[in-house]
Every structure is written in C-alpha cells, then in structure tokens.
Structure 1
C-alpha cells in the first residue's frame, strides 16, 4: 500500500520549528517559509505571506506538520 502524507498537530519549542510548518498567529494559519538564527538563540520566522515573527528559545508553539508514512484511508 502506498504511503500518504497527513498533517499532525505537535507541540514544539522555537528550536524545533521547520520550513513548511503551519502555526497560528492571531488566529490565522501561517506557513513558515524561512527561519533565521538571531543572537541569544532567538529566531526570525518568515512566513509565505511576507510577514515575520521573532520567537525566543522558550516559545512553545502548536505546529501543524506534514508527515509521511501513514497507511490506509484518511479519516
């Protein structure tokens, strides 16, 4: 059976954020386009919309991440 992709919600700190992740900012889902490392461990997150957000290493986020390896029908 072919593997499919599915979005799952995970809790991650600022260090675990990846390109392609989707987070909600102000109630709006925003896809991460780029991440830049700043002094002190902070990160500058650029979104596909052109907006940017600075997060600290202690920031906790709920992230929608696309993962592969799911089998069977998607419910």
Structure 2
C-alpha cells in the first residue's frame, strides 16, 4: 500500500476501525465514511463511494491512518 509521509499502515479489527481510515478493496483505496455496529460484534463499513462492507469481529484489515499529531490536509 502506498502511503504519504503523514499516514501509517496499521492492522485493525472491527472494534478498532475508524471513520477516515483508508482501506484498499479490489486494488482501489476507499475512505471509511460511517460505521454501524451489527449484532455479534461485526461492523458495517460505509465508504465515501457509497459501497458497504460488513466485517466479522475477528477480521483483520490493514488500513492507512493519519498519524497522531498530524492533521488532514
């Protein structure tokens, strides 16, 4: 995953994914716009594109996140 100097790649699970995270799906970077809790600990992720992805509590994803102390530009 390519990243800018302000972003770091980290592994997240359903419990730690955040709005603003960038997730690569099918070779395309997608920005998390909204999150909804789903019964059983899963999360429904809505992307800025309108696409939706539901992940189980044990699913691990690698995301790009702006490092603490750096604002988005």
On whether the aligned pair clears a TM of 0.5, the verdict is yes
Structure possessing the higher relative contact order (Cα contacts under 8 Å, 6 or more residues apart):
1
TM-score range, shorter chain: 0.7 to 0.9
With normalisation by structure 2, the TM-score equals 0.83
Aligned length: 66
With normalisation by structure 1, the TM-score equals 0.81
Point out where structure 1 has 5 or more consecutive residues left out of the alignment.
71-75
Q: Quick one: distance in 2 between partners of 1:43 and 1:69?
A: 27
Point out where structure 2 has 5 or more consecutive residues left out of the alignment.
none
- Higher strand residue share: 1
8 Å CA contact 1:9–1:62 kept in 2: the answer is yes
> Which runs of 4 or more aligned residues in structure 1 lie more than 4 Å from their structure 2 counterparts after TM superposition?
none
Larger Rg: 1
RMSD: 1.5
